[in-house]
Structure formats: C-alpha cells, structure tokens
C-alpha cells in the first residue's frame, strides 16, 4: 500500500532567509487577545424572571396571611360568635340589670316585716336563691338575648347539651320509668277479682316493688320487644 502526497499542498521554505537574521527575532512582545466564547440559553433569562416573580408572590402571600391572622387574634369577627344575636349572660348588661331589679323588689318587700319574722326569713332565703340562680346562669355559660333572659340552645350543639339535651333525656327516662311502673302494675292486678278497685285504691306494697324494679325499664322494654311481649296482640 503506497501513499502519494501531492506537491501542490505545500511550498518549500525560502532559502534566502538566514537563521541569524535580525528580522526573524521579534523586537516587542506580541499582544495576546483572549476571546471567551459561551453559549447562553435564550430561555434562561425568562426562567430567572419567573423564579423571581414566584418569590415575590410567596412573600406577599405570607405578609397578607400574617396581617389577617394578627387582625383576627386582636379582634374576632362578631359573625363568628357562638349564636347570632345572643351574648354570654355574664357579659350581658340587660341580664345584670334584671338581677338588680329582682333583688331590689325583694329588698323593698323585706322592709315591710320585722327582721326575725317568718316572712322576712322567707324573703331572705328567696334573695339567696335568686343570687345563686343568676350566678349559675353566668357560670355555666348560658346565652342571653337583648331582653336579658337566658335562651336554651336546642340545635344539638355539644357545647350546649347541658341546657336542653341532657335535661330532655333525663325527662324522657323519668317519664318512661313512671309509665313502665304503671303498666307493670296494671298487668299485675288484671288477674285479681276486683282489678278496678285496686286501680282506685293502690296496693302500696306491690307498687313499691314495681317502682324499684322499673329502674331498668329500658332493658326490660327491649327484652319484651325482642320476645314479642311488649304489645298485647289481643287488643
């Protein structure tokens, strides 16, 4: 395999120059020019601007949220109250005014009697009960209206169960207890010779036993419901 180099690609060095010729030695140091080439993405400026806008938006949002939180903590919105139109009784001016009026009436009535008389002692006891009642209204967080009277909340709110739900359940339990004892008494005397007479003249020993047995009337009612004995099928 042979390689041929064309002679037209090179030129011979001139033979007229001498190696010790002063023209070949540079008299001054040549200036060097450095050119730095860099490739810049045209989208980089847009990306940096976008990041800057995001940072500004985030900082503005944080500032606004901090202002809102501080304003809410400083003064809550009245619309966020417990129940619209009602205020706690201990903070109600009308409630305090009503208490003063009732106590003033009792004090004026107290002046009409001797200090140690029976009516005076009864009025003093009534005054103590009145003070205790108003104090409990404010202590247990009841809400009062513009008339100064406590209002019961029956919406099922757990914070106000003690005002209506709990007393209501207790009332239903007591009413069911009485009704269950009466039903048991009528069932117990229906086989007697004169049941109508025992309805008029109560058999106290029998009724006493049924009263204590009626304490667990919900369980007994459920048991009879399951067994089919709760309702008389002949009626």
SS3 string, 171-210, reads: HHHHHHHHHHHHHHHHHHHCCCCCHHHHHHCCCHHHHHHH
Q: What is the C-alpha separation between 187 and 162, in angstroms, rounded?
A: 36
| Domains of the chain, first to last | 87-153 (no CATH), 165-227 (1.10.8.110)
User: Which DSSP string corresponds to 78-107?
Assistant: GGGSSSTT-EEGGG-HHHHHHHHHHHHHHH
87-88 and 150-151 as β-strands: parallel, antiparallel, unpaired? unpaired
pLDDT per residue over 195-219, tens digit each? 899 999 999 999 999 999 999 999 9
Q: What pLDDT is recorded for position 106?
A: 95
Q: Give the E-state strand segments of 48-140 in sequence order.
A: 87-88
Share of the chain above pLDDT 70, in %: 65
Pick the residue with more confidence: 30 or 230? 230
Rounded CA gap, 199 and 188, in Å?
Answer: 11
Per-range mean pLDDT, top range of 67-71, 146-150, 152-156: 146-150
pLDDT band at 48 (very low <50, low <70, confident <90, very high): low
Question: Mind listing the pLDDT tens digit for each residue in 152-179?
Answer: 888 777 777 888 888 889 999 999 999 9
Specify whether the CB–CB gap between 217 and 178 falls below 8 A.
Answer: no
pLDDT at residue 152, rounded to an integer: 84
CB 130, CB 95: distance < 8 Å: no
**What is the pTM assigned to this prediction?**
0.49
């Amino acid at each position: 395999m042979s390689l041929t180099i064309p002679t037209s690609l090179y030129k011979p060095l001139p033979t007229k120059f001498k190696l010790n010729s002063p023209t070949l030695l540079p008299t001054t140091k040549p200036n060097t020019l450095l050119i730095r080439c860099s490739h810049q993405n045209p989208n980089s400026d847009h990306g940096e601007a976008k990041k800057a806008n995001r940072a500004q938006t985030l900082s503005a949002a944080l500032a606004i949220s901090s202002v809102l939180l501080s304003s809410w903590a400083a003064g809550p919105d009245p619309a966020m109250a417990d129940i619209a139109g009602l205020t706690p009784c201990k903070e109600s001016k009308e409630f305090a005014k009503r208490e003063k009026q009732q106590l003033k009436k009792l004090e004026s009535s107290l002046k009409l009697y001797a200090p140690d008389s029976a009516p005076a002692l009864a009025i003093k006891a009534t005054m103590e009960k009145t003070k205790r009642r108003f104090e409990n209204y404010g202590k247990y967080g009841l809400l009062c209206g513009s008339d100064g009277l406590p209002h019961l909340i029956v919406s099922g709110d757990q914070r106000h169960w003690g005002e209506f739900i709990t007393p209501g359940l207790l009332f239903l339990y007591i009413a069911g207890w009485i009704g269950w004892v009466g039903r048991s008494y009528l069932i117990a005397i229906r086989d007697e010779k004169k049941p109508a007479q025992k309805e008029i003249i109560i058999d106290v020993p029998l009724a006493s036993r049924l009263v204590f047995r009626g304490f667990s009337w919900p369980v007994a009612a459920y048991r009879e419901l399951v067994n089919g004995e709760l309702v008389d099928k002949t009626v």
